[in-house]
Structure 1
Amino acid sequence: MHLTERALSCRDDTGRVLWSTPGEGVPAAVAWGPDGGEVFVLRAGRVEVYDGDSGALADDGFPVSAGADTLTVSPDGLWVACAGDGVLVHHRGTLASSPLPTVDPVVALAWDPQGRQLCLATATALQLWSVSPVRMDFAPCTGRSGITALAWSPDRDALAFADTAGLHLVDRATGRTLAEAPVDGAVVGLGFSRTGRFLVVATDHEVLLVLDRALERAAQLPARVRSPRDLSVSATGRVLFTGGAGPELWELPDAAPYRAERRVGVRCAAGRRRCAARVGRALPALRDRAPRITGRTLLYDAGDGLWAPAIAPARDAAGSWRPAAGALTLLSAPARTTDAATWPWPPGRARP
């Protein structure tokens, strides 16, 4: 989505304008619906819903408090939550809006990937709330200082948040610390990759970090992210942010292919008139760390993550492929022990 004071525009991943609709004032927050068919816009104390394919106003929405500046949609698309001075949850089926009885201002929201709970981040704590019926279930973290960002892992097991002490990954059910890491500068935005293998971190030091689940650095990119609105991490594993030359779209190593029936729109930073999004640029898979056992991985899915020699069955089940030193070897069926054929590894290509 391209946001300006007078228009809301949707562009595809090549920068082409798909639709544009007029509006007064830059939206405080914008969120896509779960299937990409709807766009939720928080502006001037109201949440409006636009059709994701045409830009037509699909629903005039519901009112929220004037100070609301955070918007999130549940994975099933039934609940919309807004936060600022307080938190309001709205059910799109019954059209009922319910305020959560919070005390402190809320700085970030994150839905449970299964849509069962809503996590609120205040400056000092994380709180897990059920929205039907409304009740607070658990506070995984309390006594923190200066929480700025929040993300919920796709597997539902972990919560990531940032405060003045750095980055933290905690168990959702117990609050137990899983990993911690210092970060230079304040964290502006967080987001997990499609499978949860990577955590995207944007800081006010014009840096975007990609970390693994141990919060070890996998990649670093220059970025100019000044607010959560300047960073978008999609459920398909693509990251959109403002780089040195304008908006940039990157694919994480575990990104899913685009769905043929729908092209994913590009959300640009506010004030940009041109979108120079670049697609197909994958983050480099660094090979300078010691290999670690991470569970079974299909050979054709491993990519640069294939550290050790591996064996995979041939399609006709008559043999198996084995990456060897400098060659790719086809082994015969299990009853035989001789190699059927060996091909030298292409010069200049990275070896497994």
Structure 2
Amino acid sequence: MRTFAYSRADSVDHAAHRTMPDTAFVAGGTTLLDLIKLDVLKPENVVDINALPLKRVERLDDGRLKIGALVTNTDLAHHPEVKSHYPVLSEALLAGASTQLRNMATTAGNVMQRTRCPYYRDPAAKCNRREPGSGCDAMDGINRMHAVLGGSDACIAVHPSDMCVGIAAIGATLTLQGPDGEREVDFADFHRLPGDTPHIEHDLADGELITAITLDAPLKNAGSHYLKLRDRASYEFALASCAAQLMLDGDTIREARLALGGVATKPWRCSDAEAALVGQTADKTSFERAADIALKDAQAREHNGYKIPLARQAIVRALRNAARGDKPASETQESQA
């Protein structure tokens, strides 16, 4: 592992103004330190932000929920406000990683989580995300785990977060602070599609850090479900996952929220499929039609074509369970893909 300068920030302002070229912020470090050890990330300066006062979860007057950047995944998953009003987020968090990692991983760190693409994590491989213009070995390599949505000729790496899929289905705003002050970004716009610049992964300027994530007000009386399909039942990344919320009037869908994970280069909100569900009967036919719409632009490579029918199955089942109001965990299970 390369050497780097280490310092601690005692305020958000301090952190924002301490940044120098090639600076990284560290909180739980569950991704950053791994990538430094692999020589994938090479920061010259690492600023520890664990002392910052960003560990509160608070309900705002407008009904939204503000989550401090340093709230751990464990604390967020079990927070009474999240369990009561945003169960799909609690389910998504508990489906990710292991208990030990959730105890360390932070909310902002999870948002900033890097891809687990093996070519990105191998300095000997060609990767446009790690080294712009070098090529992408995943295109003609072993791409079983790679994206079928949101990819480009430069990159098909999957965004790995479960938490972010839950947040995408809820809707949220990120609060960012840097040397030029504070600004807000819609969560849906924060993660960027790879296009021709896969090394630009998010809308975060030099020296900025995430200080809070504010969830949209919850859908009233909505059923929800997070379904994760994977090779084994624990400590594994999704092959396909789906976060679904449905607000019903009898059997008629009045509002829908739908997001996918494991199949796209960013947390994937399915807005067209949501719109198609509104006014429809909450039944298998409607759910299958929504799945077809959500996946209409999916493009398979040599080894990942199975993800399209798998994601379709995830959507239908997640919507079915959201409509039924099924309890979590019963379908966070293995895939036979």
1 or 2, which has the higher helix percentage? 2
Query: Which protein has greater RCO, CA pairs closer than 8 Å, 6+ apart?
Result: 2
TM-score normalized by the length of structure 2 = 0.25
Q: Which has the higher Rg, Structure 1 or Structure 2?
A: 1
